[in-house]
Amino acid sequence: MSTSDSLQEIVCCMGQPVAGNPTQFMIERAFVAAGLDWRYLTLEVPPENLEDAIRGVRAMGFKGGNFTIPHKVSVIQYLDELSEAAELMGAVNCINRVDDKLVGDNTDGKGFVQSLSSVTSPEGKKFVVLGAGGAARAIAVELGLSGASEITIVNRSPERGQELAALLNERVKVSAKYSPWEGDYAVDEGTDVVINATSIGLGNATARVPLAYDSLQAAMVVADVIFNPPQTVFLTEAGNRGCRTLDGLGMLVNQGVIGFKIWTGVDPDPSVMREALEEYLEL
Ligand code: NDP
């Protein structure tokens, strides 16, 4: 498709603050590579203006958008429909206009599962998820929907951990339990995949996730949601014990791939998107 053949459409990202947006850089590169004369705008929207901003999305006929902190939950009330995953998570990070309806989805967990599928299928596997915030919630729900056999949620604050385990058991119908996080967490022997879904390591290459690293076995897959820097202490320790590792860049790229397909109907080139992210993050 040549640029002149493609109708210009606009996709936006709303958050506050939004200084520096690797997703914009990645998606705009993918538009160019796909020959689409589309734009991805990053818009700083304070919470009190979100309703008006969504009215603006409708009025200006934007094709879709991404939502980051602090809008992922509050945006739901202004949308027309939700995907199953977004409804279960109670959070939306991606919207798409279908005719005159705005449909909310959550691509965080789908991006993770797609990244995981490059090394293993989630089906029938036992997972340990460290964290119970937005990322952990999205990942755990999507793993449950993808056939995981057991999910252990390990979180510093018990309330959030217990609430997520209950959601998984009661609504996603996957066997889940909460495990308290005291000192270095030791991973059970039968675990297949261990995921750091906390914010430990964000912007700090020396931050250590409190884990008894000798409990990791070479057969386990170990994944981190942190994408900046992508080589975390968590992944280095796991790699030293022979585990296969997945960095947070893969999740971010795949989340972008899924959003791109939802908005445009076109499969983007993931390698173009990963290269763009690496360039943006100066890796
Ligand atoms: P939230 O603030 O919702 O959750 C943070 C989580 O980290 C909570 O479970 C919190 O525990 C835990 N945590 C934070 N500090 C510590 C600590 N010192 N010790 C133990 N636990 C801790 O954040 P999100 O879930 O939205 O984001 C988490 C990370 O995921 C961020 O770094 C974000 O950049 C990354 N992310 C990556 C994506 C990707 O595509 N690669 C996509 C989305 C997010 P508690 O409940 O006890 O406070």
The dihedral through the CA atoms of 121, 125, 131, 136 has a sign that is positive
Is ligand 1 within 6 A of the CB of residue 155? yes
From ligand 1's centre to the CA of 197, what distance in Å?
Answer: 6
For 86-118, the pLDDT digits (tens) are: 999 999 999 999 999 999 999 999 999 999 999
Range 72-77 contact pairs with CB under 8 angstroms and sequence separation of 24 or more: 72/134, 74/47, 74/50, 75/14, 75/50, 75/104, 76/104
For 15-69, the pLDDT digits (tens) are: 987 666 899 999 999 999 999 999 999 999 999 999 999 999 999 999 999 999 8
- In the structure encoding, which two tokens stand for residue 179, read together? 């495990």
Is ligand 1 within 6 A of the CB of residue 75? no
How far apart (Å, rounded) are the C-alpha atoms in residues 209 and 125?
23
Domains of the chain: 9-106+251-280 (3.40.50.10860), 110-246 (3.40.50.720)
From ligand 1's centre to the CA of 146, what distance in Å?
Answer: 22
Is ligand 1 within 6 A of the CB of residue 246? no
Please check whether residue 127 is in contact with residue 191, taking contact to mean a CB–CB distance below 8 angstroms: yes
